[in-house]
Amino acid sequence: MQAGMGMEWLLVITVSVLLGTVESFDGGSHQKPQLSLCEQLILPSGYPCSEYMIETKDGFLLGLQRVSSSSSYLRLRERGPPVLLLHGLFMAGDAWFLNTPDQSLGFVLADHGFDVWVGNVRGTRWSHGHVSLSEKNKQFWDWSWQELALFDVAEIVNYINSVTNSKIFVVGHSQGTIISFAAFTQPEIVEKVEAAALLSPISYLDHVSAPLVLRMVKMHIDQMILSMGVHQLNFRSEWAANLLVSLCDTRLSCDDMLSSITGKNCCLNESRGAFYLEQEPHASSSKNLHHLFQMIRQGTFSKYDYGKLKNLIQYGKFKPPKFDLSRIPKSLPLWMAYGGNDDLADKTDFQHTLKELASTPEVVYLENYGHVDFILSLQAKQDLYDPMIRFFKSLGKFTSM
């Protein structure tokens, strides 16, 4: 990156931060909703829903929801097998309930008799902070997807397993697949997993083609944000929204901001756009974005790269350890779906993932699907959810359904 260009973008970030409120200097104020996820989206649709709070080994308090079928007939029967839903970056558990009940995976799974558990990682609005750290403290945001996999997913899986006394089906989208892949390389986690269905699967990112993402990577926006002392990344804040807009110019049109980040989505309900924005985006950490951009630059699926000296302190070696996909047990049934218009979960990177796995997953390819279609497409039920459910039920864990 040219020095003059670096100074120009550093100035943009500085001005963007200063335009925000004092609270926004660390990424924007993090307002807690008055209603819970159950109260806001699930109970009003007629589905029984319970809220749980669990603590990770590093002290984060995660929100977890349990959803049952709207059918009184199904509720009288024994619960089906548990399924855990793991959301993507800048999203949370609400992502699975944003369309109508017959079009939203969380509701569809419940109506097929599954015992649906909704995960929310640290930092999102449906989780509950930390036992000792304030969200205004930079240590609260000192994590990346590495911790989401090794602490958040681990604790959620352990908790569901202890409550249900059953192995768990896992469904992930986008970042939810990154943390699933990483978690599944850990024997103590994967032994509690029955099977997994992964939407827009990601373990490698070096062929990302999303224009706005590539511009941010080229400009080293992630490193600039961290150098400014911004630890919470919240695109609901004024400074972060200004930053996104400032990245657009005559060479990069952001008339369709979503497509410039995710690829062209074919099948979204545009009339629900305002409703989607009431729920999304959620906050993440600047360190998490930096870790993702490291994957793009380095072509690796590894732990966070602190630089040689700190890597030596953290890991005992100069380079961060890789998450070895071949360690995922061959016996773990995997079902994966990817799209031809997905600029984040690229087809070449997906093939790289397949080559490293010991097993041969069942694969669905949808030529016209972009990254967000996998959770919000109006055709997702017939294109994705019905085949996914057939895959889960083929494993024989339903005794009478």
Closest Cα to residue 374, out of 333, 354, 395, 344?
Answer: 344
Look up 115 and say whether it is catalytic. no
**Cα dist. 265→20, 106, 134, 278, 371 in Å?**
31, 21, 37, 20, 7
Residue 144 contacts residue 290 (beta carbons within 8 Å):
yes
Helix (H) or strand (E) holding 49: strand 49-55
Label residues 31-41 b or e (16+ Cβ within 10 Å = b). Answer: eeeeebbbebb
Owner of token pair 């055709």: 379
Check 342, 349, 373, 383 and give the catalytic one: 342
Angle (deg, nearest 10), helices 286-298 and 211-218: 90
Residues 6+ away with beta carbon under 8 Å from 109? 83, 85, 116, 171, 385, 389
Instruction: Compute the CA torsion angle 195, 200, 205, 208 (nearest 10 deg).
Output: 170
Check 87, 130, 282, 371 and give the catalytic one: 371
Look up 371 and say whether it is catalytic. yes
Check 68, 127, 144, 174 and give the catalytic one: 174
Residue 280 three-state SS = coil
Look up 134 and say whether it is catalytic. no
Question: Phi and psi of 265, rounded to 5°?
Answer: -90, 135
Q: Which residues are catalytic?
A: 174, 342, 371
